[in-house]
Structures are given as C-alpha cells and as structure tokens.
Amino acid sequence: MYDVHKIRADFPILSREVNNKPLVYLDNGASAQKPQVVIDAITQAYSMEYANVHRGLHYLSNLATDKYEAVRGTIAKFLNAASEYEIVLNSGTTEGINMVAYGWAMPRMQAGDEIVLSVMEHHANIVPWHFLRERQGVVIKWVDVDSTGALDPQAVIDAIGPKTKLVAVTQCSNVLGTMVDVKAITAGAHAVGVPVLVDGSQGSVHAPVDVQDIDCDFYAITGHKLYGPSGSGAIFCKAERMAEMRPFIGGGDMIKEVSKEAVIYNDPPMMFEAGTPGIVQTIGFGVALQYLMDLGMDNVARHEAGLRDYAAQKFAGLNWMQVQGTTSDKAAIFSFTLDGAGHAHDISTILDKKGVAVRAGHHCAGPLMEHLGVSATCRASFGLYNTEQEVDVLIDALHLAHELFA
C-alpha cells in the first residue's frame, strides 16, 4: 500500500512551518526535497568515508570508489539500460546534454545541418544547440504543441528532413506537464537514420522509464529532481553512440596515459568523466534512486495521477484561473495565471504567505512562453509526498490572491 503520510515522515523538511503556516511544497518541478536516507548517506560519506575515487589504494579511497561506482549500476537498473557501461555520471541534465552537443553533435554537423526540437524544451535542451547554431551554422527546426499543450509525435517525425542529424525532445514538459510519446518519435526518427536525445529530467520523476523500450540514443536525468542531491545526474548513451563520441572535458581520470606528445584516453564511460567528480552527491543520488525503486515508480505514478485529477477538478471550478496545458494524461504539473492579477511573482508572494511554495517566472522555457503568449506563469508541481489536503490549501490561497487582485 502507498501510504503518503508514512512517506512524508521520511522527509524532515515537510514538518517545518513557513510564515507560521505548515509548509506546502509545490515546487518539485524545480527541485524536490530529500528523504532522510539520502541526508544520512551524505552525512556518512562526508563524516566517516570520504576520500577521492579511482586514485588511491588505501581503505577509504577503495570504499568511496566502490560506493561511487555502484551508483552506475543503480542508475542502469532505474532506467533499464542494457549495461552500466552505458551510463555516464555527471552533475545533471545540463552537463549531459552539453556532452552530447560537444562530444557527439559538433564533430558531425556543419552549416545547414538540422536539429529538431519541440517548442516546450527547457533551456538545458535549447542553449547547447544554439551554440552549434552560432558557431557552426546549424539550423534549429521547431515543432509547436497544440492548443491543449500536446505534442503530436508525427509532427516531430514530419519535421525531419534530409539534413536532420538529431532530434532532441523532452519526455515531460516542466511547464505544461505534457507527457510526450518519445518511443513513437524515436521509432520514426530511427526509420530514417536519425538519432534521438530525450531530456528525462521531468519524465523520469513521474513514471517508470525503460530506455531499451524507448530505444532512444541518449537519455538525460538529473539528481536533484529525483529526490537526490544537487550536482548529481547521469546520461544514458547507447554503446554505439558512445563509441562515436569524442571527450567533452579533458583532465584527470578520463585518461590512461599522458605524455608531452600524446594522450591515451580511458575507456568509455570514464572517458567522459574528467576530474574529481561529485563523489558524495553521486552516492546520495544512488540512495535516492533506490528509495524510489523501493517505493515503486508505478506506485508513484498512480499517486501523482490521483493528485493531478483532484487538482484539475478543483481548478475547473475557478473561472478566473487560466491553466496552461490541459492534456488528460499530463503529469501533476500546473502552470497558471489569474484574471486581473499582477505578475506571477506577485501571486507567488501571496501564496508564500500561506506557506505554499510555487514557482513563478518563465521556468527556463522562453520559446514556450512566447508560444503561449505570456511572459510568466505560476507553477504548482506535485511530488510523491504531496496530498489532496495540500491541494485544498493551495485553492484557499488562490482565492485570497484573486480577492486581493480583483
């Protein structure tokens, strides 16, 4: 049984008050809170087990290395990758996508070559491709969403042309909550020989992921959204794609030998992991993923679907509230504005006085804001520990904001 109240007890921050009100944390789309087991693992690693990895032969270094490297297997299990050697450890999705941009795409793309993106991508899956546009003349082709915020897989496939070298698409919009059929997109792209990168920063949080079933070439995740530490993450790279990549960052640990005349690189995936990594962050990330697998991502998905449906029903009764993104199978993420209200920041400030934490701004999704015709929205993003009672608190706070602005 999924006992949300027992789960909430695992997260110490949820017991605190903000502005003399019980904290209602609805900013999970930006960064999720951490369970005690993750906090304990970080404390243990720093206080009793810390040493650098891959470099020492003493006890602490061997212990830290074993724990750090074990996370690679945990991530492979979480994503159902065929091998842990298809997992590159990094600081998060931003680094992972940049690694693909510099290590795989840049050597293969020239002026006029194309990358297909959806209009609802996060800046982490936009800016690296703009680098290639600015520096190499690469063309970005944009695919719009429909009036409900849905992305038609066929529209993405139809945007692929003879000069398309990559499709890069989110699995779940961090603004609209739209879930994207990345499996269908991948199948269509592969049919014409085009690789696919999936930004799984949000998608991996809300439902089980199977990269073998999706068959994508790259799949990026970030630790701090998956109830782990900031500065942790990974990217899945198919073995054949990894073999095509050049190193992204040079330094220690990604080499076998260095001389005045030459460098012999380490084998993948360590070829792409230069320097002292986020050792403790990665260890904590592994504990967070194991926590999620112990809960069962199917159970998490069902719980969040219930919250989504409950919140959608409540929002439907507020005729002065405009929700962006209304697909029925979306994640429990709601971006909204209020009629007659000021800037989203003003709404967020009022909600905060009631202890309700939401996001306000463009959510690192500038092209989507332009497509929607808004400069900013508030966003309530629900997680595995949120409850229907917290939805009710949000509704009361929204009524207060509406009354003040009206």
Local structure of residue 133 (DSSP, 8 states): H
Nearest-angstrom CA–CA distance, 334 and 356? 14
Asked if 241 contacts 217 with a C-beta cutoff of 8 angstroms, the reply is yes
Rounded-to-integer distance, Cα 384 and Cα 307, Å: 9
Rg (CA), the chain: 22
Contact in structure between 165 and 111 (CB atoms under 8 Å): no
Say if CB 71 and CB 287 are below 8 A apart. Answer: no
β-pairing verdict for 114-118 and 164-170: parallel
Cβ atoms of residues 218 and 233 within 8 Å: no
Q: What are the φ and ψ backbone dihedral angles of 361, each rounded to 5 degrees?
A: 145, -155
First vs last Cα of the chain: how many Å apart? 44
Tell me the C-alpha distance between 18 and 125, whole Å. 34
Query: How far out from the chain centre does Cα 397 lie?
Result: 28
Question: How many C-beta atoms surround the C-beta of residue 265 within 10 A?
Answer: 16
Look at residues 188, 154, 153 and name the one whose alpha carbon lies nearest to residue 170. Answer: 153
Question: How many of the other CB atoms lie within 10 Å of CB of 334?
Answer: 29
- Give the integer Cα–Cα distance in Å for 117 and 141: 6
Among 216, 237, 364, 378, the one annotated catalytic: 364
- Residue 364 among the catalytic residues: yes
Distance of alpha carbon 220 from alpha carbon 200, whole angstroms: 5
What is the C-alpha to C-alpha distance for residues 290 and 78, in angstroms, rounded to an integer?
8
- Which residues are marked as active site? 364
